[in-house]
Structure 1
Amino acid sequence: MKRCKNKRRLAALGMAAAMALSLAACGEKQPSQEEVEQAIEAGTLTIEDALDKGWIDQAWVDAYYEENSVPAASKMGSNMVGDFATTTLSGEAFTREQLGDVVFVAFLDPNAEGTQAFCDALTEGYDGVMENGADIVVCTKSESGNDLFADVPFPVILYNDSLAAAVGSNSGMVEDGETPNAASWYVNSAFLSAWYSAVDAEELPASAAAFVEMSRDAAFQAGTATDGGAAMAAMG
């Protein structure tokens, strides 16, 4: 099976290289629409370059993005967080109802390399996030090493079976052993951003403002997104 996968991968790489050479050989000659589209799909030609060269027009670009976008309803549905019951590190009950509308939720392993820096960045950016109408919640994935979170200003909750079930398909990202720390923006009951393996404290407040603005869009309102909504490019 592995040998077959390698053969398919080599074949795909060979096709991509052939298309790149074909386009390079064209020089001033206009390549066919099919050649251009195959090169874009293979990643050997960017949409911007093809547009600059006149090989495609803006109508083609608009149609391409529309075809390859993800409806807001589908994005929310696949990343919706279910009901859960867990506790904070101090033993207080914590459920989904206690999450705000816009929250940067970080799943951290306190014993992993880099977690201290991740936590420090969250702490540094916390005031700006709050000022822009959002919040931060950390979920620890370990029963040990949690002294690291002793002085943080945001809630720290435990990742348990209930929460694992609630995050659904996203549990694969949360529990990935090669990525001990992962975070995403939770907006109106769903994870709607790319997953972060590191965070920049200076960028957090601006991100918070952007996702708070997004949360006010009717297409991303909890309970209404399944009725339809504008298209949204996949974010992660």
Structure 2
Amino acid sequence: MFDNIIYAGPEIIEALGETFYMLVITIPLAVLLGTPLGTLLYLTRPGSFVKAPKFYFMLNGLVNLVRSFPFLILMIAIIPITRLLVGTALGTTAATVPMVINAVPYFARFVEQTLLEVNRGVVEAAESMGANRFQIIWKVLYTEARSGIANNITIITVSFLSYSTVAGLVGGGGIGDFAIRYGYYRYQTDVMFFTVILMVIFVQAFQFTGNFIVRRLDKRL
């Protein structure tokens, strides 16, 4: 049992490195692009600050459209875009393209819902004191919603750790590709079991770290 694990050790480390490489690219871009997109959804929704129902309808429909695609189908459907951006449709870097495209609207919807949970009275108080729209967004909405946004980052990190395994089905590398080679082709269940344990440990570590940050940022606790 341990001989197989030791023999596969270098490949496990490489696969984990590829998986975390995907996350290091995907999650920051999802936060960087998804936060303003989610804020825009919040600002333009009916009854909010900006009265732009047609714009909200189109933007909301686009977000729902991208989110409705199963991830594997999305990876295949945007192969021409992936080739255009990174020069190839195979490999770890190529796998990050559909992951980012999927993660941005996913996180944007989280941000929109989190901003909706901000007490409207706090926003109205800021308006009555003469705060402009940028100040309301930056100093009121984001400040009040910071723990929720941190929780959203934790959720999306754990979710896309799972999504990254799907990349192995199309040659994206990572732990998914390792699972196919050792679990499906070689059927080495001991190596697969060890890999599953590692993934569970990483998920728990992400969740614990995220929960700790959320507690530190939540002023209600």
TM tier, smaller: under 0.3
Higher relative contact order (CA 8 A, sep 6+): 2
- Larger radius of gyration, structure 1 or 2? 1
Q: TM-score, normalised on structure 2?
A: 0.21
Hey, which of these two has a bigger chunk of helix by percent? Answer: 2
Q: Larger strand proportion, structure 1 or 2? A: 1
